[in-house]
């Protein structure tokens, strides 16, 4: 091939490179040509990542149904979402519908990890035939069966997240990891700016007797109050869900090996989660 | 103690030098491996600490890879057209107009323990050439360390073929000569010197009238190879300042070789075809030709290193102060694709052969060191050549790894909130999509490969034809496992001073 032809080809490739790279970087960062309020231009879009633990479930974004996740995936990832507030609703058969308002920032991903509980929580009696009965009843029988986590020192810790009861009606959740890696549930958006705090104080009307992480989650707490056992989402981007797992007074709770057990006057129960 | 000019041309490795020269050469040996590992480690570290910038680099690299592939594909297509034309050209007729009757073809066939069938097939192809065999000098160069087997092969070849050529010489390269490494370079240099004395001088044949074709033992020539070579030599304005490079095909056993081996073989061919369209980047490779006068002046091939095929070009380049080139012939010769008795042995042999070829990186310190010592080569040439060599070996060892393995890293290990950026999610998608588009270029490769295939032997099932097309989806594996990894292996060895010896690729025919 003549050298001149090769030089021309190289020059074309060079200019194509100069044009392609910024275009690809902008595209990959979420920029799209779009019309907003009659004005056309390059809009920095955001995205939504929603992990749905219960399937089949239907996700609604701003009231519009989004297809269910695939057979092997448990996440919705929605690209090209306009920046701003969006409502998320998840409906799954037999569970309490989940609702949240999230603020999607330009070029950023807004996360949601919905926590869904059964509409009618079930607690089954633990019988002596159960393999875990002996260890659970022994734990409940001890003088302090549950670490109630009443201070920073005795806090329950999962990864870099710690939780304890600050006072009888306040639970404190603390991020102890690197500030740059703070999870989304410590953050909220105000005046289109993301604000992340490494401590979240959550006020509870009922008296909190003990607190722990919900099995398998660091963003959901299991609260034992004087009215029963509840699951509480730490994510405070809109009103927090406080969902009943078991209602009843004079209850003790124990979280062990990914299960929640309660003990009341009538016996020991395992809560279905 | 400084190195003499003569020594500089023949350096094999750093420990052959002394003092500051040794230090400089050693540093140059370490350079390619340092660049390759620096890139890979740098990409991993950047993906962790500065994932945003690493992601931008990867996107830019994806674009570069795409455009480079397109750019090279155009070169490949152009050379394929030239090769097709060359194959259909009546070179004897072209040659008729040129004064070619003084020209001799000197063919060296070095062998070690390859089967006699391999030797016979190569000799048979010489016999079937459309050239005057009375002006052909055939040198069968065996190795003494192969023992009685070498003697048997030589005697059998002598009895079956010697009378068919104008001149036939069989040599046995003595084992353990001082300053030599056991391998092709030392063998063919020894054989050439023997042939010079016993044939050229004895018959008063002018060195400048002899064109040496240095082949591998499995090199099978197409009937018009020598006519084509003669034409290129005779029409070149300064044939003593040039080597002549055919296109290496691996067609001898291509229908019997497994898909991985075929893809690696064709990838090697395609790379050489691309280089044929960029002669300023072309160095001699495997089977090549050179006028004996030039070969004699530079002292034959180097005897103390592995990559004598490419080094001979650099020997000449340095000897003639940069006034030397490789002429792309765009005409093929055929050799064996890797094939062993079992699939796994074949894979192992592919890897080892690729590593040996990648050991051509040993030319980098040689080039840089000689450039350092040579004020009579222009600075521009030094920069251009150094860049081409370093970029070439760097690309070979790192690009597939960057593309196929590291493209996802920032999204996986990036810290500092990178995972909450849309960019983190789109990066793997963009990388994947660009790769898919780039892979469409393989359709061109598949088509070109099909046109270069020899007729399918009767014992091969017809479905193999489909395999010849589908095999190209293996490219991401072959360029990584049998491209980047052996290259990185070779560069790491050079970096650490663990020098490689000559590994003879076993030849196996079904």
ipTM above 0.90, yes or no: no
Token pair in block for residue B33: 């491996």
Contact B64 A28 (CB under 8 A): no
B385 touching A, CB under 8 A?
no
Q: What is the pLDDT of residue A54?
A: 63
Q: Is the peptide bond before B321 cis (omega within 30 degrees of 0)?
A: no
* Complete DSSP assignment for A99-145: EEEEEEPTTBEEEE-----BSS--EEEPPTTSTTHHHHHHHHHSSS-
* Contact (Cβ atoms closer than 8 angstroms) between residue A175 and residue A159: no
Contact A107 B422 (CB under 8 A): yes
Side-chain half-sphere of A197: how many Cα atoms within 13 Å? 13
Residue of A28, A75, A106, A107 to mutate, interface with B, max B Cβ within 10 Å: A28
Share of chain A above pLDDT 90, in %: 22
Given pLDDT bands bounded at 50, 70 and 90, which one contains residue A212?
confident
pLDDT at B6: 61
Closest in B63, B66, B422 to A46, CB measured: B422
> Which is more confidently placed, B425 or A189?
B425
DSSP state of B388: H
B312, B504, B507 from B115: Cα distances, Å: 28, 13, 7
Answering whether pTM is above 0.90, one says no
Contact state of A24 with B62 under an 8 Å Cβ cutoff:
yes
B414: which 2 tokens? 């990036």
User: Is pLDDT of A76 > 80?
Assistant: yes
Residues of chain A with Cβ-Cβ distance to B427 below 8 Å are 28
Q: Which positions of chain B have pLDDT values less than 70? A: 1-7, 503-505, 507-510
Contact of B491 with B393, CB cutoff 8 Å = yes
Strand partners, B431: none
Q: Can you state the angle between helices B441-452 and B259-276, rounded to 10 degrees?
A: 100
pLDDT tens-digit profile of A143-175?
565 666 777 788 889 999 999 988 888 999 999
User: SS3 of B250, please?
Assistant: coil
Strands (E) located in A168-235 = 170-175, 187-190, 193-196, 199-203, 208-213, 220-225, 228-233
Q: How far apart are CA B148 and CA B199, in angstroms?
A: 25
- B413 touches A at CB < 8 Å: no
Compute the half-sphere exposure of residue B497: CA atoms within 13 Å on the CB side of its CA: 8
Contacts of B415 in chain A (CB under 8 A): 178, 180-181
Sorted by sequence, the CB contacts under 8 Å of residue A53 that are 6+ apart come out as: A74, A113, A114, A115, A116
- Are residues B426 and A181, on separate chains, in Cβ contact within 8 Å? no
Whose CA is closest to B468, among B323, B302, B262, B205?
B262
CA distance B473 to B262: 12
Q: How far is CA A36 from CA A32, A104, A253, in A?
A: 11, 16, 52
CA distance A168 to A203: 9
CA distance A105 to A134: 51
pLDDT at B1: 40
Q: In what order do the strands lie in the sheet with A109-112?
A: A75-81, A46-51, A109-112
**Cα-based distances in Å from B337 to B287, B354, B360:** 14, 12, 19
For residue A252, pLDDT beyond 80: no
> Over A36-94, what HEC string results?
ECCEEEEEECEEEEEECCCCCEEEEECCEEECCCCCCCCEEEEEEECCEEEEEEEEECC
For residues A69 and A67, what is the distance between their CA atoms, to the nearest angstrom?
A: 6
User: Model confidence over A19-72: pLDDT tens digits?
Assistant: 999 999 999 999 998 876 667 888 999 999 988 776 677 889 999 888 665 555
Give the angle subtended at the CA of A182 by the CAs of A176 and A187, to the nearest 5°. 115
B/e letters for B487-499, b = 16+ CB within 10 Å, e = fewer, are bbbbbebbbeeeb
How many residues does the structure list for chain B?
510
Q: At what angle do helices B19-49 and B51-88 cross, to 10 degrees?
A: 120
Count Cβ atoms within 10 A of the Cβ of residue A131 and give its class: 0-12 exposed, 13-18 middle, 19 or more buried: exposed
Answer yes or no: do B422 and A111 touch at CB < 8 A: no
Interface check for A179 against chain B (CB to CB < 8 A): the answer is no
Q: Is A158 helix (H, G, I), strand (E, B) or coil?
A: strand
Chain B: give the shortest CA distance to residue A266, in Å: 48
Nearest-Cα distance to chain B for A261, in Å, is: 36
Distance CA A231, CA A260 (A): 11
Higher pLDDT, B22 or A256: B22
Burial B266-301 (b: 16+ CB within 10 A, else e): bbbbbbbbbbbbbeebbbbbbbbbbbbbbbbebebb
Residue B438, token pair as written in the block: 């780039």
Beta carbons of B98 and B227 less than 8 angstroms apart: no
| First CA to last CA distance, chain B | 55
Count CA atoms within 13 Å of residue A127 on its CB side.
1
Cβ–Cβ of B60/A180 closer than 8 Å?
Answer: no
The per-residue b/e assignment along B467-486, b for 16 or more CB within 10 angstroms, e otherwise, is: ebeebbebbeebbbbbbbbb
């Amino acid at each position: 091939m003549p050298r001149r032809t090769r030089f021309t080809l190289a020059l074309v490739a060079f200019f194509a490179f100069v044009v392609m790279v910024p275009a690809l970087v902008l595209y990959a960062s979420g920029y799209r040509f779009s019309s907003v309020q009659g004005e056309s231009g390059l809009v920095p879009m955001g995205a939504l990542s929603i992990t749905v633990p219960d399937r089949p479930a239907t996700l609604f974004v701003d009231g519009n149904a989004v297809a269910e996740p695939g057979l092997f995936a448990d996440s919705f990832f929605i690209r090209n979402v306009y920046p701003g507030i969006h409502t998320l609703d998840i409906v799954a058969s037999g569970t309490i519908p989940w609702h949240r308002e999230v603020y999607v920032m330009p070029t950023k991903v807004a996360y949601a990890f919905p926590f869904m509980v059964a509409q009618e929580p079930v607690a089954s009696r633990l019988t002596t035939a159960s393999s875990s009965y002996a260890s659970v009843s022994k734990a409940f029988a001890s003088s302090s069966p549950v670490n109630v986590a009443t201070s920073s020192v005795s806090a329950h810790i999962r990864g870099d997240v710690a939780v304890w009861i600050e006072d009888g009606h306040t639970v404190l959740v603390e991020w102890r990891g690197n500030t740059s890696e703070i999870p989304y549930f410590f953050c909220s958006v105000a005046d289109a700016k993301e604000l992340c705090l490494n401590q979240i104080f959550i006020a509870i009307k009922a008296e909190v007797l003990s607190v722990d992480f919900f099995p398998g989650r660091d963003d959901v707490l299991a609260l034992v109050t004087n009215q029963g056992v509840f699951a509480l989402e730490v994510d405070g981007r809109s009103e927090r869900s406080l969902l009943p797992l078991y209602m009843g007074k004079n209850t003790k709770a124990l979280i062990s090996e990914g299960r929640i057990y309660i003990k009341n006057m009538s016996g020991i129960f395992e809560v279905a989660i | 103690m400084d190195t003499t000019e003569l020594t500089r041309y023949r350096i094999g490795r750093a420990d052959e030098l002394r003092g500051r020269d040794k230090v400089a050469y050693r540093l140059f040996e370490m350079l390619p491996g340092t660049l390759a590992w620096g890139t890979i480690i740098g990409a991993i570290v950047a993906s962790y600490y500065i994932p945003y910038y690493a992601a931008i680099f990867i996107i830019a690299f994806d674009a570069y890879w795409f455009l480079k592939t397109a750019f090279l594909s155009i070169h490949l297509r152009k050379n394929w057209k030239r090769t097709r034309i060359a194959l259909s050209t009546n070179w004897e007729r072209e040659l008729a107009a040129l004064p070619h009757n003084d020209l001799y073809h000197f063919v060296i066939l070095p062998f070690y323990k390859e089967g006699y069938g391999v030797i016979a097939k190569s000799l048979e192809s010489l016999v079937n050439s459309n050239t005057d065999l009375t002006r052909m000098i055939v040198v069968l160069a065996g190795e003494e360390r192969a023992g009685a087997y070498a003697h048997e092969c030589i005697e059998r070849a002598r009895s079956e073929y010697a009378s068919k050529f104008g001149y036939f010489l069989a040599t046995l390269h003595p084992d353990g000569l001082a300053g030599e490494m056991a391998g092709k370079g030392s063998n063919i240099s020894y054989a050439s010197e023997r042939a010079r004395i016993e044939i050229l001088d004895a018959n008063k044949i002018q060195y400048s009238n002899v064109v040496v074709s240095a082949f591998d033992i499995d090199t099978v020539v197409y009937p018009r190879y020598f006519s084509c070579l003669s034409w290129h030599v005779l029409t070149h304005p300064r044939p003593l300042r040039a080597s002549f490079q055919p296109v290496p095909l691996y067609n001898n056993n291509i229908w019997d070789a497994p898909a991985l081996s075929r893809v690696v073989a064709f990838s090697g061919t395609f790379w050489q075809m691309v280089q044929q369209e960029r002669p300023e980047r072309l160095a001699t490779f495997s089977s090549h030709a050179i006028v004996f006068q030039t070969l004699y002046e530079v002292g034959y091939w180097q005897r103390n290193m592995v990559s004598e095929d490419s080094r001979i070009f650099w020997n000449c380049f340095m000897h003639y102060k940069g006034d030397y080139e490789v002429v792309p012939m765009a005409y093929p010769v055929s050799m064996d694709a890797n094939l062993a008795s079992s699939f796994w042995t074949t894979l192992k042999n592919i890897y080892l052969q690729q590593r040996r070829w990648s050991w051509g990186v040993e030319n980098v310190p040689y080039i840089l060191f000689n450039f350092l010592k040579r004020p009579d080569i222009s600075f521009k040439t030094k920069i251009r050549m150094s860049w081409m060599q370093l970029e070439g070996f760097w690309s070979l060892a790192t690009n597939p790894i960057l593309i196929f393995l590291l493209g996802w890293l920032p999204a996986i290990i990036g810290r500092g909130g990178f995972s909450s950026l849309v960019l983190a999610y789109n990066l793997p998608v963009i990388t994947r999509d660009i790769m898919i588009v780039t892979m469409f270029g393989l359709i061109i490769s598949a088509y070109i490969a099909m046109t270069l295939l020899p007729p399918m032997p009767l014992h091969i099932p017809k479905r193999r034809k489909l395999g010849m097309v589908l095999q190209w989806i293996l490219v991401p594996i072959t360029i990584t496992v049998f491209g980047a990894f052996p290259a990185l292996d070779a560069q790491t060895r050079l970096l650490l001073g663990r020098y490689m010896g000559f590994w003879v690729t076993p030849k196996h025919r079904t």
